[in-house]
Structure 1
Amino acid sequence: MSDPTMSSHVITSPAEVFPPEPRMTTAADLDRLLHAWQSRFTGGRSPSTLSLAFLDWMNHAANSPFQTSMLGRVAVAQWIRLAQAMMSGKPAIAPRLEDHRFDHPAWLENPYRTLVQAVLLGEEWSDSLVHTPPGVDPANERIVAFSVRQWLDLVSPSNLPWLNPEVIQATKATRGGNLVAGLGNLLRDRARADAGSGMEGFRLGGNLAATPGKVVFRNALMEVIQYAPTTPTVGAEPVLIVPAWIMKYYILDLSLGNSMIGWLVGQGRTVFAISWRNPGADMRDTTLDDYRSHGVMAAIDAVGAICGGAKLHAVGYCLGGTLLAIAAAAMAREDDRRLASLTLLAAQTDFTEAGELQLFITNDQLAFLDDVMQGQGYLDQKQMAGAFQMLRSNDLVWSHAIRDYLLGEQDTPNDLMAWNADGTRLPARMHIEYLRHLFLDNDLAEGRFPVGGRPVTLGDIKLPIFLVGTERDHIAPWHSVFRLHVLNDGPLTFVLTSGGHNAGIVSEPGHPHRHFRLRAREAAGHTLGPDEWLRDTAPQDGSWWPAWDAWLEARSRPRIDPPPMGAPGYAALCDAPGTYVREG
């Protein structure tokens, strides 16, 4: 059982926050200040990482002069393709499926059609350029390719008002009114950013995070919310949801119609959820294991006490799923049998295919990031959001800028946008531990991740697992999520659903244009490769939630009367959504 009090890593005193004994400023302190200043201009990225990557590429390009010179012939071939496209009227190249810069019909008319062809052929040549020299370190090659793509996105004609026909048409039609409205939108967004707001029209406990419940446990790291039953009987096994600490938990309790938590309660599930504290500088030394022991394990203790020792269905989302997998492996090692099943939503356990987020994870980058965070004690939400936006700059940055600032349009606020504006911070020590041990060194997948001084093994988990990946996930790519098949040979049901990291999970029944694929593997059964799995698993229309609920029901005992709200030692402290979720 976990001690409900927190370790010294989390409970702090004024003396810990403000050391009583002054110390001399060292050279390392001065370098740390320099790096923190640099981060304001680099978006938190180490300038050394970028320069070393380009130096590696340039050295190999210079040492392969004959292969490099062939790029001239490739460029001539691209010009020939462009000329042929102009003469024939048929495109020489089409945008990628995920590229929506040139979707407007005006781009199909000349001279814009020719401009689009020139841009796409030039980008194709640039891609061959960065991948040509042999011998470049793969990580450096990815960094160079990513940086070149960012620059090309920046200078794309779709982002230039005098070259974008959609903007030109809107400016003519409104006599410049779109640009005036766009300036107003820009000033509004700046004011919101300065004020740290973005939730106008939405209220926690009102039209967000509104599923009725009580906070039944609180420590210095998290609160446990128990949701009120709405059915006469409930599943004998309660459901515990472990969200990621990089987001407010109510991504799973948005509005009435798309709340996963509310839907589960309506299916007759007794639901508990962890709501993480939004850390400040006082939590700078909180560790990743604190999140396991004083987060997941403390919540399991609370749920067990309230539900009479019943086993529980544990659910983890994103980093919460990674943490839950670590906790489940440690429980299996200690023969702790309080879990009935494990559900992991867009959660990685093997980080060898972790996508473009790996671009930011090098030893040099982590040292730089550590210096940046040491000054403030955490990574703030703006720094984290900037990294995610760069991964999909066309979708998350430039398309927004064009629509809002050049076309003068304005998004209709919705619950997901309000949640996205309600950011969180990450404790400095925990964040570096997570990035180093999981992303950089892949210790969990390779059996080196320590819990209690000894490594844990995901293969020790002997529970039925329900694993969900999303088709367009740029944070936890589904191929990476899928790799749990290799690390655990137990019974595993994998679902691949339409949508991205958030929209694919918040995929309520009745949501239009949704589909999913589902296939179960028995214990010690034959494991398909991800591409083979995709080829051989037919899509099904609709939401994956009912299939998940049926899976839970098949692994549950007969239904019982709802448990009490709270228990001795776990009395109700306040109404949901609690206090920690309100911390800015």
Structure 2
Amino acid sequence: MAMTKASGSDKPSTGDANAIEPYIVKDPEAFARNLARMLEELGRAAAAWVAPRESGEKTDTISEPYADMVKTFAKVSEYWLSDPSRAIEAQTHLLTSYFSIWNASIQRLSGADAPPATPAAHVGDKRFADKDWNDNAFFDFLRGAYWVTSDWAEKLIVDAEGLDPHLKHKAQFYTRQIIDALSPSNFLLTNPELYRETVAENGENLVRGMRMLAEDIAAGKGDLKLRQSDASKFKVGENLATTPGKVIAQSDVCQVIQYEPTTEKVLKRPLLICPPWINKFYILDLNPQKSFIAWAVAQGHTVFVISWVNPDERHRDMDWESYARDGIGFAIDAAEQATGETGVNAIGYCVGGTLLAATLALHAKEKDTRIKSVTFLTTQVDFTHAGDLKVFVDEDQIEAIEAGMEKSGFLEGSKMSTAFNMLRSSDLIWPYVVNNYLKGKDPMPFDLLYWNSDSTRMPCANHSFYLRNCYLENKLSMGKMELAGHRLSLKDVRIPVYNLATKEDHIAPAKSVFIGSQFFGGDVHYVLSGSGHIAGVVNPPDKKKYQFWTGGPPVGAFEDWVQTAEEHPGSWWPHWQQWLTALDGMDATVDAKSRKPGGRKLKPIEDAPGSYVRARA
């Protein structure tokens, strides 16, 4: 560790005291006292984990998810161990790579001109931004060994022949989770920045970190509730979800919010937004600067939003038909009573869009034509290419989830939050573990990550139906989903469709959304936005961020469509507004005074954003 790069030189030095000095403990007694305090806080964290398990409040089952991981890797191991020469070749390749890194490190230590080797695939890895990952030969060796091992492990999965595609997908996913977890940037003694900070603070950072760990386990009632934002800086209804409006109707499944108009004239046909029930609706109303809802109101729309209930054991039997009838159908009825209009334009976001698509197919069977156009935001209706979330869906895993839900009547929101975070664990898990529990620092306030942590539960019947009919059996696109006694076909959905995907989406991949477009019976306008599942949607025009692409009909290969698509700078919001207002019947306007929330027939229940959205899981 003492062998670091000399100041003002491109070669490492074995005697640079200034470089060594930040890694030397100055006050051993203070350091020892803080280590003792750290162990005390760690004991409190352990007690917070054990207490609900001793009381029976919480039980753990080995089947989730570690047993599945072990079974998956066992299948991969069978391939490599079944042929000794194949296994030896793989091991030889890894050892050769280690020797190359070792030789380069020796050269650097001896003063030779041997710059750090950074594989092209890892250039710009922000986990290794600290200068000592390059300047210090010890940390450079650790980083190089990690990269070599990671690449080798991933190649083992890719090169394993004859594996079931789903099993290989799971093996690749689990391997990435282990790789991200074992990064030397995640450990005190192998991260130069953490090492220096701990020495500089005599371990005080570890005391704070273990205290935060104990608090987060207690907040999660025995599970770690990883804080990604300073929650004390946000409150729903005060600095989040602040667009003025009223709750005008309420069912066991949802509240319906109508927003106050801000223009003198409004479009005659109202706009109904169906958000996902897996998250809360205020992602579309984070603050006045980012709010799609406020922007839509400013464009002259009379906006209605479904705010789903945060379910408990009372809602265990609420299934997709319940959400279609007492959610979407109920909201359409409320909009009709409040405005006198029999037609609405609808927007569905993520799984809210999937439900909306199924509801449209159901409406087609029942001759209900009140939804005149539909906009899907990062919505899948075909799950063939549904991305890494499919890792969590096979018969064994669904049975385990259903067994857990059967006891409580719902799936804990933290389970889904963890699954979503695992899709990008190097961004959404480990940086916060390092920052919170090793550096002992509070995370920065960030409204998006506060919303991300404000999780919701899933009713047993609803979630089971979704997992089996969509992810496992892909019934909606195949015309085999049954709802309310009808077999649904998306070909019956012939209204205009605006289908937005995002380029870097880990939840509803752009290719999956593109392929889903072909199953509708009418015209589909496919648009690809820059960024990911959230930032690609919540992209206000005045921010001038990202871009979007338009092209011809979504037919043929997705890759071919992308090659010929036209790129446009900025937000897709104005483009959507132009598409929507060009539709038949959208040229009519009415006086905004007639669009007071609730109208003449419905008495407002409470101010927006309502009480349902405030319920915490």
Correspondence list, 1:535-554, <5 A? 535-554=563-582
Distance, in Å, in 1 between the alignment partners of 2:264 and 2:104 is 68
Structure-1 residue corresponding to 2:93? 74
Structure-2 residue corresponding to 1:518? 549
Q: Which amino acid aligns with 2:546?
A: H
Q: 1:17-48 deviations in whole A, cap 9, x for unaligned?
A: xxxxxxxxxxxxxxxxx9x8343x66x4372x
Q: 1:310-366 deviations in whole A, cap 9, x for unaligned?
A: 421100111101001111122233332222211111111111111111111000111
In the TM superposition, what is the alpha-carbon distance from 1:533 to its structure 2 partner? 2.5
Structure-1 residue corresponding to 2:120? 94
Q: Which amino acid aligns with 1:561?
A: D
Q: 1:290-311 deviations in whole A, cap 9, x for unaligned?
A: 1111111121122123222342
* Aligned match for 2:439, one of 393, 407, 411: 407
Q: RMSD of the TM alignment (CA)?
A: 2.6
Aligned residue-pair number:
543
Q: 1:84-141 deviations in whole A, cap 9, x for unaligned?
A: 7656426251344795322333322232223222211111111122233321212122
Q: CA distance change for structure 1 residues 177 and 45 in 2, over 3 Å: closer, same or farther? A: closer
Judge which range, 203-212 or 354-363, deviates more.
203-212
1:342–1:466 Cα contact (<8 Å) kept: yes
2:361–2:490 Cα contact (<8 Å) kept: yes
Structure-2 residue corresponding to 1:28? none
Distance, in Å, in 2 between the alignment partners of 1:344 and 1:151 is 35
Correspondence list, 1:18-417, <5 A? 37-39=59-61, 44-45=64-65, 47=67, 49-79=68-98, 82=101, 88-89=114-115, 91=117, 93-96=119-122, 99-111=125-137, 112-190=139-217, 192-194=219-221, 199-417=231-449
In structure 1, the gaps of 5 or more residues are: 1-33
Distance, in Å, in 2 between the alignment partners of 1:382 and 1:487 is 33
Correspondence list, 1:565-576, <5 A? 565-567=597-599, 569-576=601-608
Q: CA distance change for structure 1 residues 528 and 518 in 2, over 3 Å: closer, same or farther? A: farther
Distance, in Å, in 2 between the alignment partners of 1:194 and 1:511 is 39
2:272–2:345 Cα contact (<8 Å) kept: yes
Distance, in Å, in 1 between the alignment partners of 2:94 and 2:132 is 27
Q: Which amino acid aligns with 1:100?
A: K
Q: Which amino acid aligns with 1:508?
A: P
In the TM superposition, what is the alpha-carbon distance from 1:540 to its structure 2 partner? 2.8
Q: 1:463-502 deviations in whole A, cap 9, x for unaligned?
A: 2211222233222222212222322363222232233222
Q: CA distance change for structure 1 residues 499 and 205 in 2, over 3 Å: closer, same or farther? A: same
Distance, in Å, in 2 between the alignment partners of 1:151 and 1:367 is 25
1:68–1:133 Cα contact (<8 Å) kept: no
Q: Which amino acid aligns with 2:182?
A: V
Q: 1:230-264 deviations in whole A, cap 9, x for unaligned?
A: 10001121110001111111111111211111111
Distance, in Å, in 1 between the alignment partners of 2:575 and 2:135 is 47
Q: CA distance change for structure 1 residues 65 and 138 in 2, over 3 Å: closer, same or farther? A: farther
Distance, in Å, in 2 between the alignment partners of 1:275 and 1:389 is 23
Q: CA distance change for structure 1 residues 58 and 171 in 2, over 3 Å: closer, same or farther? A: closer
Q: CA distance change for structure 1 residues 411 and 81 in 2, over 3 Å: closer, same or farther? A: same
Distance, in Å, in 2 between the alignment partners of 1:109 and 1:201 is 39
1:214–1:565 Cα contact (<8 Å) kept: yes
1:346–1:468 Cα contact (<8 Å) kept: yes
Structure-2 residue corresponding to 1:529? 557
Distance, in Å, in 2 between the alignment partners of 1:174 and 1:510 is 43
Q: CA distance change for structure 1 residues 159 and 254 in 2, over 3 Å: closer, same or farther? A: same
Distance, in Å, in 2 between the alignment partners of 1:189 and 1:539 is 44
Judge which range, 112-121 or 267-276, deviates more.
112-121
Bigger RCO (CA 8 Å, 6+ sep): 1
Q: Which amino acid aligns with 2:75?
A: D
1:158–1:164 Cα contact (<8 Å) kept: yes
Distance, in Å, in 2 between the alignment partners of 1:98 and 1:554 is 44
2:492–2:521 Cα contact (<8 Å) kept: no
- Give secondary structure in 2 for the equivalent of 1:121: helix
Distance, in Å, in 2 between the alignment partners of 1:326 and 1:207 is 34
In the TM superposition, what is the alpha-carbon distance from 1:187 to its structure 2 partner? 4.6
Does residue 451 of structure 2 align to residue 425 of structure 1? no
Q: CA distance change for structure 1 residues 576 and 412 in 2, over 3 Å: closer, same or farther? A: same
Q: CA distance change for structure 1 residues 92 and 77 in 2, over 3 Å: closer, same or farther? A: farther
Q: CA distance change for structure 1 residues 310 and 202 in 2, over 3 Å: closer, same or farther? A: same
Structure-1 residue corresponding to 2:44? none
Structure-2 residue corresponding to 1:18? none
- Give secondary structure in 1 for the equivalent of 2:548: strand
In the TM superposition, what is the alpha-carbon distance from 1:73 to its structure 2 partner? 4.1
- Give secondary structure in 1 for the equivalent of 2:375: strand
Q: Which amino acid aligns with 1:37?
A: T
Q: Which amino acid aligns with 2:400?
A: F
Q: Which amino acid aligns with 2:362?
A: A
2:517–2:554 Cα contact (<8 Å) kept: no
2:310–2:456 Cα contact (<8 Å) kept: yes
Q: Which amino acid aligns with 2:403?
A: D
Distance, in Å, in 1 between the alignment partners of 2:355 and 2:467 is 13
Correspondence list, 1:447-526, <5 A? 447-488=479-520, 490-511=522-543, 514-521=545-552, 525=553
Judge which range, 92-101 or 344-353, deviates more.
92-101
2:320–2:483 Cα contact (<8 Å) kept: no
Distance, in Å, in 1 between the alignment partners of 2:549 and 2:319 is 36
Distance, in Å, in 1 between the alignment partners of 2:433 and 2:554 is 48
In the TM superposition, what is the alpha-carbon distance from 1:226 to its structure 2 partner? 0.7
In the TM superposition, what is the alpha-carbon distance from 1:217 to its structure 2 partner? 1.2
Distance, in Å, in 2 between the alignment partners of 1:449 and 1:153 is 38
* Aligned match for 1:559, one of 572, 589, 600: 589
Q: Which amino acid aligns with 2:142?
A: L
Distance, in Å, in 2 between the alignment partners of 1:164 and 1:418 is 28
- Give secondary structure in 1 for the equivalent of 2:235: coil
Distance, in Å, in 2 between the alignment partners of 1:496 and 1:543 is 11
- Give secondary structure in 1 for the equivalent of 2:589: coil
- Give secondary structure in 2 for the equivalent of 1:37: coil
Judge which range, 153-162 or 342-351, deviates more.
153-162
- Give secondary structure in 2 for the equivalent of 1:510: helix
- Which is higher, the Rg of structure 1 or of structure 2? 2
- Give secondary structure in 2 for the equivalent of 1:566: coil
Distance, in Å, in 1 between the alignment partners of 2:219 and 2:141 is 40
In the TM superposition, what is the alpha-carbon distance from 1:453 to its structure 2 partner? 2.2
In structure 2, the gaps of 5 or more residues are: 1-55, 108-113
